[in-house]
């Protein structure tokens, strides 16, 4: 198997007739999906998503792909094809369009409607082109055929990219639910037809490559949701992804059957379900929806609330309810239904929310104690099925952490793909398809770009390290005044500490050590302010480490007179 090496250098120039693929996100992680295809000097981008921050990235709102690789070539971009409307595939589009606003967005009706609603908040009017399964469209040298795939959001698409270098089949996110709630099946016939034509490179969703068998049908969830709503004596609060139209439809159908009203809570939930309803993807019975602001007027047993926050996001509605920081107050006897799977890394945050809800008397129903969610991603049995249908000459697993990518690569090997035709890449690794072979030829920078409030890219890994230190250990600031000509101390030291857990009275005993250290440097003729700061930092750091076994951030402030 071809795999990345930490010492990969910059790639050579792309040979004539070759196709280059560079993933700027989505490999070795769940999220930030973005792949750049290059042929004959032109670029095609597939997806442009975000990654959500982990607890060791304090203050970060979103993580974007790094656009540096294409920043000087934005005029070469023919289009951005969006396979579906989940945030990990469309969330970074507004930030890309800030750099070139007229890049055409290609996608299905619902995908384009949801991204347009998002772009409205960014005051961007996109150039868009709607496509449907079964169609072929040409974007520069890229001849793209679109195929229906079943996923946890309607209107998802796979795509076959044809160039003179060969056919690449990109599945997007998919599963093979044979009884989907919307009746839209993954186009296995289309996959088989492409396999007969000859798939030179298969890029396939790896998220559930470690899960044996086939994913449970979405229809099996409906009876469980119905039972939860039927048996609950008070309010039912359902937390789901704001894009999971199928799941919200199941909740609304059950609520209508049992005479309950439904209120949508959260801006993204209201926005997305409004779009889905207007386009006919969400069927809402008459007079079912009520405004969440009027919810207190209804008896608790007649209400279902649908909100965001199934992943424990701090600012989402459910987390705020658990923390008593939301107008809707959790009460004894309420039932909370977490109708989604856990995104890896969110377990601690979700468990914290579950504990908070339980504290106020709610019954919490989740995937761990009831069948209230099925994955939107194909399990190993389905992935094998696709590999056998398409019989690719080369295989590249995408969309997954390292364990998922390697598990998927092993499945490909089992179906007969030669080991040296299986490419396991990571973000930034450059893969060229030339003369029917896919090979790693180099790497480009593909780091994280952090969004923090209104700033994009200004926060660095060093900044995050400082934030973690401040959060874990606090800080100590030391103010000294020195003579600029002699380096001698003329006032101070004055010490301030926050969050360090050190008794301020202890600093009085330590101040003479700082004075001695500075006096020694002055005697040596040191007048450089930077060196004096280093002396203060080292002296304080050594004392705190030896005395308290702690490593707070130390901020020396040296004033000259």
Location of structure tokens 């700027």 = 24
Is 375 annotated as contributing to ligand binding? yes
Active site residues: 205, 377
Is 84 annotated as contributing to ligand binding? yes
Is 399 annotated as contributing to ligand binding? yes
Do 456 and 95 touch, CB atoms closer than 8 A? Answer: yes
Do 483 and 503 touch, CB atoms closer than 8 A? Answer: no
Is 496 annotated as contributing to ligand binding? no
Is 16 annotated as contributing to ligand binding? no
Q: Is 130 left (phi over 0), alpha (psi -120 to 50) or beta?
A: beta
Please name every residue paired with 136 in a beta bridge, in sequence order, or none if there are none: 145
Do 84 and 157 touch, CB atoms closer than 8 A? Answer: yes
Is 246 annotated as contributing to ligand binding? no
Do 180 and 159 touch, CB atoms closer than 8 A? Answer: no
DSSP type of residue 13 = P
Q: Which long-range contacts link 251-256 to residues 24+ away (Cβ below 8 Å)?
A: 251/225, 251/304, 251/306, 251/339, 252/282, 252/283, 252/284, 252/285, 252/288, 253/222, 254/222, 254/225, 254/226, 254/229, 254/230, 255/229, 255/288, 255/304, 256/285, 256/288
Q: 220 phi and psi, to 5 degrees? A: -75, -15
What string of DSSP letters covers 31-77? S--EEEEEETTEEEEE----BPPPTTSTT--EEE--THHHHTTGGGE
Is 445 annotated as contributing to ligand binding? no
| 86: Cα within 13 Å, side-chain hemisphere | 25
Q: What whole-number distance in Å separates Cα of residue 35 and Cα of residue 24?
A: 6
Is 206 annotated as contributing to ligand binding? no
In terms of Cβ atoms closer than 10 Å to its own Cβ (0-12, 13-18, 19+), residue 461 is: exposed
| 312: Cα within 13 Å, side-chain hemisphere | 20
For 153, the token pair is 């959001």
Is 89 annotated as contributing to ligand binding? yes
Positions of E strands within 66-111? 77-81, 105-107
Q: Quick one: which of 160, 104, 94, 158 has its CA closest to 129?
A: 104
Location of structure tokens 């996001």 = 313
Is 26 annotated as contributing to ligand binding? no
Is 326 annotated as contributing to ligand binding? no
Do 307 and 326 touch, CB atoms closer than 8 A? Answer: no
Location of structure tokens 């019989």 = 391
Is 151 annotated as contributing to ligand binding? yes
Is 5 annotated as contributing to ligand binding? no
Q: Which residues are annotated as a binding site for Ca(2+)?
A: 59, 61, 452
List residues forming the annotated binding site. Answer: 59, 61, 84, 86, 88-89, 151, 173, 242-244, 373-377, 399, 452
Residue list, annotated binding site for Zn(2+): 84, 86, 88-89, 151, 173, 399
Annotated binding-site members for substrate: 242-244, 373-377
């Amino acid at each position: 198997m071809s795999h990345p090496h930490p010492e990969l250098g910059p790639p050579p120039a792309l040979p004539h007739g070759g196709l280059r693929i560079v993933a700027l996100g989505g490999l070795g992680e769940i999220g930030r999906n973005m792949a750049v295809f290059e042929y004959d000097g032109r670029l095609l981008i597939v997806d442009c998503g975000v990654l959500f921050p982990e607890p060791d990235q304090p203050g970060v709102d979103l993580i974007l792909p790094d656009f540096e690789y294409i920043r000087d070539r934005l005029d070469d971009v023919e289009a951005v094809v969006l396979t579906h409307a989940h945030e990990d595939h469309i969330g970074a589009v507004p930030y890309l369009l800030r750099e070139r606003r007229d890049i055409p967005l290609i996608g299905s009706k619902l995908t384009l409607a949801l991204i347009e609603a998002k772009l409205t908040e960014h005051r961007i009017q996109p150039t868009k082109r709607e496509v449907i399964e079964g169609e072929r469209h040409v974007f520069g040298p890229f001849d793209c055929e679109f195929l229906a795939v079943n996923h946890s959001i309607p209107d998802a698409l796979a795509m076959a990219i044809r160039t003179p270098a060969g056919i690449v089949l990109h599945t997007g996110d998919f599963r093979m639910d044979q009884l989907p709630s919307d009746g839209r099946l993954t186009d296995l016939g289309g996959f088989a037809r492409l396999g007969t034509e000859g798939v030179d490179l298969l890029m396939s969703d790896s998220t559930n490559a470690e899960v044996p068998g086939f994913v449970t049908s979405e229809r099996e969830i409906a009876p469980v949701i119905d039972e939860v709503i039927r048996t609950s004596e008070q309010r039912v609060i359902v937390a789901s992804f704001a894009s999971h139209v199928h799941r919200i439809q199941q909740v609304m159908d059950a609520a209508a059957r049992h005479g309950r009203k439904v209120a949508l809570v959260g801006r993204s939930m209201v926005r997305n379900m409004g779009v889905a309803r207007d386009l006919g993807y969400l069927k809402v019975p008459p007079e079912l929806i009520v405004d969440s602001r009027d919810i207190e007027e209804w008896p608790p047993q007649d209400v279902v609330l649908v909100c965001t926050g199934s992943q424990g996001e701090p600012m989402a509605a459910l987390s705020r309810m658990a923390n008593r920081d939301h107008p809707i107050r959790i009460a004894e006897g309420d039932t909370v239904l977490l109708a989604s799977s856990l995104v890896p890394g969110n377990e601690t945050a979700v468990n914290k929310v579950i504990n908070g809800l339980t504290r106020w008397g709610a019954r919490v129903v989740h995937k761990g104690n009831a069948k209230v969610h099925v994955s939107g991603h194909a399990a190993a049995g389905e992935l094998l099925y696709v590999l056998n249908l398409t019989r690719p000459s080369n295989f590249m697993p995408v969309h997954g952490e390292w364990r998922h990518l390697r598990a998927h690569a092993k499945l490909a090997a089992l179906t007969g793909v030669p080991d040296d035709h299986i490419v396991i890449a990571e973000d930034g690794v450059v893969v060229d398809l030339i003369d029917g072979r896919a090979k790693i030829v180099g790497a480009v920078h593909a780091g994280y770009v952090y969004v923090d409030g209104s700033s994009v890219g200004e926060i660095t890994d060093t900044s995050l390290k400082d934030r973690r230190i401040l959060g874990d250990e606090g800080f100590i600031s030391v103010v000294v005044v020195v003579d600029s000509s002699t380096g001698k101390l003329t006032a101070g030291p004055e010490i301030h500490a926050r969050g360090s857990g050190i008794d301020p009275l202890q600093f009085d005993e330590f101040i003479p050590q700082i004075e001695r250290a500075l006096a020694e440097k002055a005697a040596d003729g040191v007048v450089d302010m930077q060196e004096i700061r280093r002396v203060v930092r080292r002296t304080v750091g050594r004392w705190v480490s030896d005395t308290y076994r702690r490593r707070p951030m130390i901020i020396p402030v040296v004033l000259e007179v």
